[in-house]
Chains A and B, each alone.
Chain A
């Protein structure tokens, strides 16, 4: 009995190591594939570089219309907008990557092949996270320069390490929601219109571009239930030193707990939908 138990524990270690190795291998393979596809389309990369400052202006100018001309170069307004854009870039990478990847695999006819493997679904469909991370770094540097040139305003960054940590937690929370959204794509196929509506709802109630204290009371209550409210709040706190809704440590703890719960839930939902579709034969129906 004792011998068997010892034997079992000896067997578990290499199995766990093998499991970890295969997980790393999956991450590596997914990343390589993502970058290969990414660098194949240089036109998109160049188009992004050209259009980013233009779209920033298109988004920022209508808001400036509500301010007197003398305040158009106000560093607080510009910094608010800048960090909101960077944060939203990161969050939306996590939110939509799974759904988009699943839809792409459906359209190219490779989804069933991926489901024939025993690869981790979260890793396989998170491929655009790798390329988007590179995109975000490039865009960040680029946007700092563009903002300086366009508005002659320096970008505040008080606590870089804290900010990176908030971004990572924010990305994981978004990935949790992203997996639920991915499961919806798997089930309902074309959910593009829902994506846009959802995006505007989140932007509206989570105080991404302005503090939630400016919202009407009823919406302010709703905003407190959105994790993105705290991601935006902590982003501004780490970068600009603004006041937070709750204690910063409490907000951070809340986000970490949420990230763990949402990611576990997301993965479970994808598995559940996949199994259900497999049973009903709808996995290959587009």
Chain B
């Protein structure tokens, strides 16, 4: 009995490994896309900083500091841009996972395997988060080296952890979107709406304090907003926030909340879909 339980636990590791290998293999096919993903935060930041200096003139940097509390606009923007990209990719990958499987004809095959589908979708966050943390590090490191203010190993660990925990609630939101796939065939339209709202209220490129208090209150439940705030403090302001523990606790609570919501919604859809035959309806 004990060996059977051990086999089951190891089986989960095999599933996780399988998803890792599958995701990395697929992604390694699109080297150009990854180069684009890595350079995109620089291109967007270059555009913002360029236009900013053009419209702000001589006082541009001073104004930027007064508005954001950070003196280096490039670091601030690349940092925000890298997290924004990570959040968008996680939501798109998880939200559209069913549609993608449906389109390539492998969706039903996953249901034929003796695995928990919820866990299969959940495991997708692991390779994606690993890649996005790597992209984030590759993007931010050159600026930190240039400024001569590299992070300590402990700070890197905290940064990686914060990125991972900030992405977890997005898996929950992604699962809710995934459950809507059968109803809304064009799931990317739904993802676009959700992504735009999350992007606006996360404050990737600006502090959330510029919004009215009611908008700030809504931004409170957007998981990435808190993660970005911590990362800005650690990387751009070079200080570990005093209320770090509070931030992390709230992020974990948000993760539990969104994951539970996602699991319940997905399970409910799956239950109905299996009975009504909607599982194979494209």
Contacts and interface: CB of A to CB of B under 8 A. Distances in A.
B48 A43 contact: no
Q: Which 4 A-B pairs have the closest CB atoms?
A: A66-B52, A66-B56, A62-B205, A193-B36
Interface in A46-89: 46-47, 50-51, 54-55, 57-58, 61-69, 77, 80
Category for how many chain A residues contact B: 35 or more
Contacts of A62: 48, 52, 77, 205-206
Q: Is chain A's interface secondary structure helix, strand, loop, or mixed overall?
A: helix
B46 interface: yes
A55 B196 contact: yes
B81 to A, nearest CB: 9
Interface in A86-127: none
A67 B55 contact: yes
Category for how many chain B residues contact A: 35 or more
A152 interface: no
Contact of A193 (B33, B55, B185, B206): B33
Nearest to A209: B51
A200 interface: yes
Max chain B C-beta neighbours (<10 A), residue from A54, A55, A194: A54
Interface of A: 41, 43-44, 46-47, 50-51, 54-55, 57-58, 61-69, 77, 80, 190, 192-194, 196-197, 200, 203-204, 209-211, 214-215
B239 interface: no
A258 B48 CA distance: 30
B189 A46 contact: yes
A47 B36 contact: no
A68 B62 CA distance: 9
B79 to A, nearest CB: 12
Contact of A65 (B67, B184, B196, B200): B67
B205 A51 contact: no
Max chain B C-beta neighbours (<10 A), residue from A47, A65, A203, A214: A65
Contacts, number: 105
A17 B130 CA distance: 63
A66 B64 contact: yes
Max chain A C-beta neighbours (<10 A), residue from B46, B184, B200: B200
Interface in B233-253: none
Q: Is chain B's interface secondary structure helix, strand, loop, or mixed overall?
A: helix
Contacts of B77: 62
Contact of A200 (B32, B43, B64, B68): B43
B54 A214 contact: yes
15 contacts: A43-B186, A46-B189, A47-B192, A54-B199, A63-B51, A63-B52, A65-B67, A65-B68, A66-B63, A67-B63, A68-B63, A190-B30, A196-B40, A203-B47, A210-B50
B211 to A, nearest CB: 9
A51 B32 contact: no
B210 interface: yes
Max chain A C-beta neighbours (<10 A), residue from B43, B55, B184, B193: B55
B53 interface: yes
B73 interface: yes
B200 A54 contact: yes
B40 A67 contact: no
B260 interface: no
A50 to B, nearest CB: 5
Given A54-B200, A61-B210, A64-B67, 13 more contacts: A47-B190, A47-B192, A51-B193, A54-B197, A62-B52, A66-B61, A66-B73, A68-B59, A196-B40, A197-B43, A200-B44, A209-B54, A214-B53
